[in-house]
Structure 1
Amino acid sequence: MQTADFVRRDSTALNGIMYERIGGYRVSDMQFVAAFDVDSRKVGLDLAKAVVTPSVAAVLHTDIEPTGVSVEPGPLLDGIGGNLVGVVEPHPASREATIDDVADRLTAVRADVLVCLLPTGATEAIQSYARAAVRAGVAFINATPEPVVHDPALAAAFAERGVPLLGDDLRSHLGATTLHTALIELLQSRGLAVVNTYQLNVGGNTDFLNLADPGRAVQKTRTKRSALQAAGIDASTVSAGPNGFVEYLGDEKVCMIRVEASSVLNSALTLDIRMQVEDSPNATGVLVNAVRIAKTAAEHGHAGAVHDACAFLFKNPRVGATESVGIRQFRAYVDSVARD
């Protein structure tokens, strides 16, 4: 019998890693077997070098051992658009690459999980990678806001193929959405009514450059509002999402949250919070959870969307939940697959 190792603060494990093991798998058990990109600066490089070519991230380990995995050209489709045009030069081979090439490669290397980190707004490319995962029988993690779990045909395809699907829109480990929804739940648990709120985010990495184009940011705003809606408020008109590209911030993300609430005798309570965090590493803790959940779910025969894990890991799961319910469901799922 296995047990789920929930990391306590007296542990020697890495900060930000909630579980030393999920389904028996440690973070160190994960291996890269294939990588795809369209950036001419990355294609052909060993993955260890490609991830830092180029990069604005401040927290980087540049002495990564070579992985033996070369970045291959992925299909271009609509992956580069808006503000990314002229910033990212597509590799010539990416214009000829097809999703069938991706599916064949996933099959050849016997991949277990495919993580999609394409730019927001690249709906065709993202959904095409999902179809490649279905064809190859590989679990799929949609870290983007574009609909995969929320696309009925794609969700059904994963269920019929018998492989897990996780999404949509990966949360940061402790980011703006997690903090915002936790605050809302805290106020409501004390019987306060949230009257007004907003969440403003700026940053200086390529993600924020891409999202500075309103046409590419539409789905991102929707997924953030979906998370706030699941927290228990009417978020249909709430301003929450990417609000600007500030180049000098680099990989730093600055978030401003304001919550106005009404308490006893209609007395007012207002919270103004500013959070600054390195954006890219903030996804790591969630991704290593999601990858191990996807692998374990496949081993347990869980096909289609893994609802019990997704409410905690993603902003826009098929079945949303408050912060406390989402983490309780996630922990229960991890415990259940550890016991089986």
Structure 2
Amino acid sequence: MGLADIADLCFGGAEINDRPLAESIAALHARSRTLDHERLELIQPDVAAVETDILRLPDAGDLSLPALIDRLRAAIRVFREGHDLARVIVVNLISAGPEPEPSTQHETLAGLDALIASDRREFVTPSLCYAYAALREGCPYINFTPNPGTEFGAIAELATQTGLPFYGDDGKTGETLVKTALAPMFSARNLKVLSWEGVNLLGNADGRALDDPLNRQAKLRNKEQVLASILGYAPHAGVSINYVPSLGDWKTAWDLIHFQGFLDVPMTMQFTWQGCDSILAAPLVLDLVRLADFAQRRGEQGHMTQLACFFKHPLGVDEMALPRQLDMLQEYALHHVERG
């Protein structure tokens, strides 16, 4: 396809935590054993280089919306010019936060501009600021978080105005990934799902953020919506998210599926999913960056629906079954390979 080589990528970012990146990686290793010592030593020069391109924003909560967006836009420009980059892709990887208050002004760019200018923080969240700043600076935008904003009409209008692609929401790395792979099996075999209960345990910063009921609303909604879409009916389904600090960067999902087969005989399936959050997410982010860059080079704009398989809440896509979503990406890739 001609995707960018990973070795050609240059990394920077914005962070409210003022702890150096090397310390964060060391802490991750100490708690979760994600990387071995040999790899840690190998990446030290790269980590030091990235550190110089991280905009530290410990005072982000004290900035007005216009000031925060100005800081973000300036950081993108400095990063682009400092490395003489052809393109910059912005990926939102922050923890889940409270949802913005609903407003009809979210649906038009003029309305969003007015909310920002008047510093209406109850309507404009940090994630919405990142999307706005990225598109204003000519950067494709990926929302890997459950935080709302990308689906607002104002962002779609801005992407159209700037001729840029964007996509989200909420990276699919664990329990929902398994759900969207398994649920089509029940449908294909005409096994009626009566109940599907899931318990999620997380120990990292995302888990801590999701421990707040206000922060978990969008995440729970994204997790709960997939079954009805795939099965064609809504079984009894519950999803819970619990913070377990000792797990560190590892997450566990326990799921119980109660289903009905031939002659209405009830049966059950259970699974346990244990995975390392960062290791599950990192390769997806790298591929999303390369695919967004490819889309921009091809002059594509608006929703990148071919990326639906990466997300719990794929924008502009009703299909939630993972196999069909993967077909969408493969068809897109094959189309461009054949075109050359």
Q: TM-score range by the shorter chain?
A: 0.7 to 0.9
Partner of residue 189, structure 1: 188
* Partners of 1:149 and 1:305 within 8 A in 2: no
1:72 counterpart residue number:
55
Matched, 1:291 2:289: yes
Q: Report if the CA contact (8 A) 2:17-2:58 is conserved.
A: no
Q: Which one of 253, 269, 285 corresponds to residue 271 of structure 1?
A: 269
Q: Which residue of 1 aligns with 2:74?
A: 104
Matched, 1:119 2:95: yes
Aligned equivalent of 1:37, options 12, 15, 18: 15
Contact (CA 8 Å) 2:220, 2:239: kept in 1 or not? yes
Which residue type is aligned with residue 113 of structure 1? I
Deviation at 1:57, TM superposition (A): 3.6
Does the 8 A contact of 2:258 with 2:266 survive in 1? yes
Identity of aligned residues (%): 27
* Candidates 16, 23, 34, aligned match of 1:59: 34
Q: Using the TM superposition, give the Cα deviation of residue 122 of structure 1 relative to its aligned residue in structure 2, in angstroms.
A: 5.3
- The 5 A counterparts of 1:204-219 are 204-219=203-218
The answer for the alignment partner of 1:87 in structure 2 is none
Give the conservation status (yes or no) of the 8 Å contact 2:17–2:57: no
Query: SS of 2:272's equivalent?
Result: strand
Q: Which residue number in structure 2 is paired with residue 247 of structure 1?
A: 245
Unaligned runs of 5+ in 1: 5-22, 79-91
Deviation of 1:186 after TM superposition, in Å, equals 0.7
1:162 aligned partner: 163
CA 30–205 in structure 1, closer or farther in 2 if over 3 Å, else same: same
Q: Please report the TM-score for the alignment, with normalisation by the length of structure 2.
A: 0.80
Do the aligned residues in 2 keep the contact of 1:138 with 1:163 (CA within 8 Å)? yes
Q: Name the structure 1 match of 2:3.
A: 24
Is contact 1:74-1:94 (8 Å) kept?
Answer: no
**Partner of residue 175, structure 2:** 176
Q: Provide the rounded CA distance (Å) in 1 between the counterparts of 2:187 and 2:265.
A: 15
The aligned runs of 1:125-144 (5 Å cut-off) are 125-144=126-145
TM-aligned CA deviation for residue 97 of structure 1: 6.1
CA distance in 2, matches of 1:137, 1:95: 19
Alpha-carbon spacing, 1:102–1:76, altered in 2? closer, same or farther (3 Å): same
Alignment of 1:255-334 (within 5 A): 255-309=253-307, 311-318=308-315, 319-321=317-319, 322-334=321-333
CA contact (8 A) 2:258 2:269 kept: yes
User: How far has the Cα of 1:121 moved from its partner?
Assistant: 1.0
Q: Distance in 1 between matches of 2:7 and 2:177?
A: 26
Partner Cα separation in structure 2 for residue 150 and residue 160 of structure 1: 16
2:103 — aligned with what?
Answer: none
CA distance in structure 2 between the aligned counterparts of 1:232 and 1:195, rounded to whole angstroms = 11
Task: Give the secondary-structure state (helix, strand or coil) at the position aligned to 1:109.
Answer: helix
Distance 1:154 1:210, change over 3 A: same
Question: Aligned equivalents of 2:92 and 2:274: distance in 1?
Answer: 25
Q: 1:241 to 1:333 in 2, by over 3 A?
A: farther
Q: Is the 2:195–2:235 Cα contact (8 Å) retained in structure 1?
A: no
Q: Secondary structure at the match of 2:295?
A: helix
Tell me what 1:15 maps to. Answer: none
Aligned residue pair count: 296
Cα 1:187/1:76, change in 2 over 3 Å: farther
Give me the whole-angstrom Cα distance separating, in 2, the residues matched to 1:266 and 1:279: 38
Deviation at 1:176, TM superposition (A): 0.8
The structural deviation recorded for 1:140 is 0.7
Task: Give secondary structure in 1 for the equivalent of 2:45.
Answer: coil
Is the contact between residue 75 and residue 97 of structure 1 (CA under 8 Å) also seen in structure 2? no
Gap change, CA 1:237 and 1:192, over 3 Å in 2: closer
Q: 2:135·2:162 contact (CA, 8 Å) conserved in 1?
A: yes
In 2: Cα distance, 1:76 partner to 1:178 partner? 36
Which range moved further: 98-107 or 250-259? 98-107
> Which deviations, in whole Å up to 9, do the C-alpha atoms of 1:239-283 show, x marking residues without a partner?
2252x1112111111111111111111112210111111121111
CA RMSD, aligned part only? 2.5
Alpha-carbon distance between aligned partners in 2 of 1:283 and 1:104, rounded to the nearest angstrom: 28
Give me the whole-angstrom Cα distance separating, in 2, the residues matched to 1:248 and 1:66: 30
Q: Please state how far the C-alpha of 1:334 moved relative to its aligned partner.
A: 2.2
CA distance in 2, matches of 1:151, 1:307: 16
Contact 2:223–2:239 (8 Å) recurs in 1: yes
Query: Larger deviation: 300-309 or 102-111?
Result: 102-111
Corresponding residue for residue 81 of structure 1: none
CA displacement 1:149-193 (0-9 Å, x = unmatched): 321211221122111112000111xx2111112111111111111
Q: CA deviation at 1:109?
A: 2.8
Mean Cα displacement is larger for which, 324-333 or 107-116? 107-116
C-alpha separation between the residues in 1 aligned to 2:18 and 2:70? 21
Tell whether the 8 Å contact from 2:198 to 2:238 is kept in structure 1 after alignment.
yes
